[in-house]
Amino acid sequence: MNNSFRRRVFFILFASITIWIFLWYTHDLVKKLNQSNKKDCETIAWLWAGVQYPLSVVGDESGIMSCTVCGYPIKRLDLSLESDSFFCPVCGDTTLFIHTLRLLPEERIKVIDFTRKLFGDLVNRLDFPTIFADENNNPQIVDGQVVDGLPSGRIMEFRKRMEILAEQNEPIPIVAGVDTIGNLFYGTSPLSTEMRLIPFLELGLLFLIAAVVYMFLRVEVSRDKDMSWVGFARETAHQISTPLSSLMGWIELLKDDPELSAIPDINDALEHMDADVNRLQSIAQRYGQMGRRPRLQPISIESTVSGVVEYFNARKGILGSGVVLELRQSEDEHIINGNSVLIGWVLENLIKNAVASCAGNQDGGRVTVGCEYAHSTETEIEIRISDNGHGIPYRDQGRIFQAGFTTRKGGWGLGLSLARRIIEEYHNGSIRLLSSTPEVGTVFSILLPLKGGGDNDNNSVG
C-alpha cells in the first residue's frame, strides 16, 4: 500500500467519522430542543392550574361569612343568610358572622381579565402553537387568545387543530389539587422542525461527499492507469527504435548493391520494406512522445484516406484471402485541420477490425471506405468504413469504445478507445457505430470539421 493510497483512505475515514459525529450531535440537539419545549408547556400548565383555585374563589359571587370580632372567614353555605352566629376558632367563642364580598363584581371581572391577559402574553412568547382546553376538551385559550363567544364553526376548527396537535405531542393535563380541570395541547416549533431536517441534509451531504471522493479516486486510478500505459508506450517505442534504425541501415546497404538493385522484384521489395520501416519509425516516434497533444495542420483528408487504403491494398497478406478493400470518394479535395499520422492510425484500426470481421465469409469479404460531405451539413466531412462481416453482438455494441473491452481473444481493448480520443478530443470530430447486424455487417462513421481548427505545439499521440 503506497503513501498516496494511505492518505486517501485516511481522508475518507476522517471525513466519515467527522460527519457521523456531527449527525449524532444534531440528533441529540433536536431531542433536547423537544424536551425543552415540553418542559416549557408543563411549566405553563402548572402555573395555569395553580391560579384556577384563587380565580374560582375570586369569581364566586356567593361571597363568604366573616367574624365580626376578628374577621375570620368561613364559606357561605346558606345563600339566604346575611348574618348568623358561628363558632370562631380564632376567638374561641361563638360570635356573629355576617355576609361579605371578597371583591365587587367589576373588580372580579378586572382580576379575571388581567389573569387571562397575563397568561395570553406568556403563551404568545412561545414559538409553537398552544391550545388550553377544559376537562371536556372545549377550547378556552388558543395561542394566547380567549375564544369565548366565537361562532361554533371556529370552535370546530380549533377542535380539529387540537387533534393534529395531539398527534404531534401528547397533551399535558392541567391538575388543580386532585382534579384534572383541562388539558394543554401544543405543537412543534418551526426551529425544531428545521432541526429535524438537518440530520437528513447531513446524510445527503455525506453521500454527496462519498460520491465526490469516489469519483476523485476513480479519476486518480484512471490517471494512474493512463500514465502506466504512457510509460509502457514510451518504453516500447524506445526499445523498438534501436532495431528499426538497424533495419533502415541494412535496407540502405541492400539498395546500394548494384547486383540486387538490378533485379526488379528485389528492388520493388526493398522499396516496400523501406516504406514499412519508415512507417514503423514514425509510429515509434509518436508513441515515444505519448502524453502530449498532437500538432494539427491543414491536410487533405482524401489524400490521407487514399494513402491508408493503398497501403493495405499493396500488402495483400494483411487483407487476407478473399477480402476486397474498396475506396469510394470524389476527386475533390477537402482540407481539414488535423494530424495525418493519427487519422491514418484510426483508419488502420477500423480497417483491420473490419478485415478480421470478414474472415471466413463464404461469399467473400468486402470492406468499403467512403469519404464525402456529411448529409446534414457541408461544414463536415464524413468517412464511412463498412463491411459485410460477422457484425458486433447487440449486447456488446454499447461497450465497444470502453477502454479494455474486447471480444477478440488476446486483444487489449484499446484500439477503439484511443480512436475516439484522437477523433473527438484532438480533432473536434466524432466517431460512432452507425449500425451493426450479426452476420450482415458493420458501419462506422467518422465526422471531421473542415478547415478551421488551431495548431498545437507538438506532433505526437496523446
Percent of the chain exceeding pLDDT 90 equals: 10
Instruction: Name the DSSP class of 291.
Output: T
Percent of the chain exceeding pLDDT 70 equals: 77
Which triple of cell numbers denotes residue 45? 400548565
- Residue 240 carries which side chain, given as an amino acid letter? I
For residues 389-402, average pLDDT: 86
Q: Which pLDDT does position 313 carry in this prediction? A: 85
Q: How confident is the model at residue 233 (pLDDT cuts 50, 70, 90)?
A: low
Is-contact 393 438, C-beta < 8 A?
Answer: yes
Which triple of cell numbers denotes residue 176? 388543580
Query: With 60 as the cut, is the pLDDT of residue 459 above it?
Result: no
How many of the other CB atoms lie within 10 Å of CB of 194? 11
Helix (H), strand (E) at residue 243 = helix 190-256
Name the percent of the chain in helix, strand, coil, to the closest 5.
50, 20, 25
Tell me the C-alpha to C-alpha distance, in Å, between residue 388 and each of 324, 365, 392. Answer: 11, 6, 11
Query: With 80 as the cut, is the pLDDT of residue 324 above it?
Result: yes
* Degrees, nearest 5: CA angle 160-163-169: 145
Nearest residue to 216 via CA among 443, 4, 445:
4
Nearest residue to 351 via CA among 324, 379, 380, 333:
324
For residues 428-441, average pLDDT: 90
Q: Which pLDDT does position 368 carry in this prediction? A: 93
Query: With 90 as the cut, is the pLDDT of residue 80 above it?
Result: no
Query: With 60 as the cut, is the pLDDT of residue 460 above it?
Result: no
| The architecture CATH gives domain 294-449 | 2-Layer Sandwich (3.30)
Lowest mean pLDDT among 148-157, 332-341, 435-444, 445-454: 445-454
CA-CA-CA-CA torsion sign (269, 273, 274, 276) = positive
Q: How confident is the model at residue 103 (pLDDT cuts 50, 70, 90)?
A: low
For the chain, domain boundaries? 3-61+101-188, 213-291, 294-449
Rounded Cα distance, 202 and 195, in Å:
11
Is-contact 388 441, C-beta < 8 A?
Answer: yes
What average pLDDT does the chain have?
77
How would you classify the pairing of strands 365-373 and 323-329? parallel
Q: Which pLDDT does position 51 carry in this prediction? A: 63
Which triple of cell numbers denotes residue 422? 484522437
How many of the other CB atoms lie within 10 Å of CB of 434? 11
Tell me the per-residue pLDDT of 34-76, one tens digit each, with 9 for 90 and over: 777 777 777 776 676 666 555 555 555 566 788 888 888 887 7
Tell me the per-residue pLDDT of 151-186, one tens digit each, with 9 for 90 and over: 878 888 888 988 888 888 888 887 766 677 788 888
Rounded Cα distance, 356 and 360, in Å:
9
Q: How confident is the model at residue 412 (pLDDT cuts 50, 70, 90)?
A: low
Lowest mean pLDDT among 77-86, 110-119, 165-174, 333-342: 110-119
